[in-house]
Chains A and B, each alone.
Chain A
Amino acid sequence: MIHRDRPQDWRGWAALAWPAAMLGTFFVVPFGIMLGVSFFHRVEGGFYEPAFELANYARFLTPFFAQVLGFSLGISALAALVVVAVAFPFTYCLTRLPRRSQVGFLVFILAVLSLSEVIVGFAWSTLLSRTAGLSNLLVWLGLLARPQAWAPGFWALLVGLCYLGFPYAVLVLYPALSRLDPELPEASRMLGASPLLTFFLIVVPSQRQALLSALIMGFVFNLGAFLLPQVLGRPQHWTLSVHITDQAVFQSNLPFAAAMAVFLMGFSLALIGLTLLLGRRGARP
Chain B
Amino acid sequence: MSGLRIEGLSKSFGHVHALADVDLDIPHGRFICLLGPSGCGKTTLLRLIAGLETPTKGRILLDGVDITRVPAHKRDFGMVFQSLALFPHLSVGENVAYGLRVRGVDRARRRQRAEELLALVRLPGVLDRPVAQLSGGQRQRVAIARALALAPKLFLLDEPLSALDAKLREAMQVELRLLQQRLGISTIVVTHDQREAMTMADIVVVMDHGRVQQVGAPLAIYREPANAFVAGFIGLSNLLQGTLAEDGVRIDGHAVRVARLPPGLVPGAAVTLSVRPEEAHLRPFGEPGPNRLPAEVAFVRDLGASVEVTARCGEAELLVVMAPRERPSDLALGGRVMVELPAEACVVLAA
Contact = CB atoms under 8 A, between A and B. Distances in A.
Interface in A180-199: 181, 183-184, 186-195, 197-198
A118 to B, nearest CB: 42
B73 A184 contact: no
A201 B102 CA distance: 9
A267 to B, nearest CB: 31
Contact of A186 (B78, B85, B89): B85
16 contacts: A186-B52, A186-B72, A187-B79, A187-B86, A187-B87, A189-B72, A190-B147, A191-B78, A191-B98, A192-B74, A192-B103, A193-B73, A194-B73, A198-B73, A206-B89, A208-B89
Interface centre among A181, A192, A198, A208 (most CB of B within 10 A): A192
Interface of A: 181, 183-184, 186-195, 197-198, 201-202, 205-206, 208, 283-285
B285 interface: no
B48 to A, nearest CB: 13
B47 to A, nearest CB: 9
B83 interface: yes
Q: Which of B78, B102, B130, B132 has the largest number of chain A CB atoms within 10 A?
A: B102
Give me the 9 closest cross-chain CB pairs, A-B, nearest first.
A191-B99, A187-B85, A183-B85, A190-B79, A183-B81, A189-B72, A189-B73, A193-B102, A205-B89
B83 A190 contact: no
Given A190-B50, A190-B77, 4 more contacts: A186-B72, A187-B85, A188-B98, A191-B73
B130 A202 contact: no
B76 interface: yes
B130 A192 contact: no
A191 B89 contact: no
A201 B91 CA distance: 14
B98 to A, nearest CB: 5
A191 B150 contact: yes
Q: Which one of A187, A189, A284 has the highest number of Cβ atoms from chain B below 10 Å of its Cβ?
A: A187
B347 to A, nearest CB: 40
A181 B83 contact: yes
Given A192-B102, A193-B102, A208-B89, A187 B81 contact: yes
